[in-house]
Structure 1
């Protein structure tokens, strides 16, 4: 079933196509064949700029969580044998501080529709019955509609696609590693965590780079700019909203 055959979603996709194609045309005198890639970068920056208030709220939430860590540890000691009571008490504590343990997921959820639309725009040969001219654009010779995995498995082989995709994934891996080292919160519980759980939490930081290998290059470009912006933004906001010193 094609969800974009549903008229409202078909209109949304066609509108997004017209906006991105129009922006690419405006940028063509400056960016040439990479004008669509430049348009994707500008759209990404616009989305991230609109989400700055969410980033500020997230930084304040991290600050609040760090301040609440001693009280959370006390709750875990007190209700260690009663998981349901522990969960209720923790949620009540978060609620009393006007925060949530899931607040950090909002930026990811807010961007999911944008990534989905970009994925679809650079995957379909036709949009609303007309040829998809966005597929004729590239980034340094790498077609924006081709993914690294598709190129390697279905061909044809393309050095530009390999090199550009590898460069984007490397940037994402470096940004993920810096984020993991600098911003991974210390566990609240005094009890040692499961090694498997710790490894899974570390792996989550790198899943974006793995995901980028499977989506069209345009979507991978969006993810790369997003990850880089997020890292810089968190560094700036951490300085403005530092975590309380642990003694």
Structure 2
């Protein structure tokens, strides 16, 4: 089914890479309500940071009590500890289905910048499209790290570069998806952080 949807979009837009971009944008637009909830939760967590730090200090030797009190404080404020994960979790089934489409040969014969959409950078080190994808993902990751709040944990900053390492091992088609969703996320973060 994904194959037929991508080909239908390609017929409208004139290329399979453009169809991948369009399908990704449509998915992210559909997930926007979940993203809004995630950003709202982030704002609430930032506002509650001093209170949560006090709880951590008072209950540092009582992990169960700390978890209960933290959850209660966040729930009272209208949020939860995992609200920011909803968009990522909601995308997961789509990513799996699309990744299977990109790896089962359905994209073979379609290309961008002379690279077949099924090719991978690790097996073709001279692949220009692959290097452009890695460069774009690196720029997006740097941008995203700069947009993170100063108090963000180090592992969150490192995770921002996960897609860069991953990009060399996925087909070019999947790289197009990763760049498109990464740009969407960067623009979304910028908008919600600068909105009053």
- TM-score normalised by length of structure 2: 0.92
Q: Secondary structure at the match of 2:60?
A: coil
Question: Could you say which residue in structure 2 is the equivalent of 1:142?
Answer: 115
Q: Choose from 43, 47, 69 the match for 2:23.
A: 43
Q: Choose from 98, 109, 123 the match for 2:89.
A: 109
Number of residue pairs matched by the alignment? 196
- TM-score normalised by length of structure 1: 0.74
Question: What is the RMSD computed on CA atoms of the aligned residues?
Answer: 1.7
* C-alpha contact (below 8 Å) 2:41/2:79 kept by paired residues: yes
Runs of 4+ in 1 over 3 A off after TM superposition: none
Structure 1: which 5+ runs fail to align?
Answer: 1-14, 29-34, 126-131, 153-158, 188-196, 242-247
Question: Could you say which residue in structure 2 is the equivalent of 1:164?
Answer: 129
- 1:56 and 2:56 matched: no
Question: Could you say which residue in structure 1 is the equivalent of 2:2?
Answer: 16
**More RCO (CA 8 Å, sep 6+):** 1
Instruction: State the 1:165 CA deviation.
Output: 1.2
Q: Secondary structure at the match of 2:37?
A: helix
CA–CA distance in 1 between the matches of 2:111 and 2:141?
26
Q: Choose from 164, 168, 171 the match for 1:209.
A: 164
- 1:180 and 2:145 matched: yes
Map Cα deviations across residues 140-165 of structure 1 (whole Å, 9 max, x no partner). 1111011212334xxxxxx4xx2211
CA–CA distance in 1 between the matches of 2:93 and 2:149?
26
Instruction: State the 1:226 CA deviation.
Output: 0.6
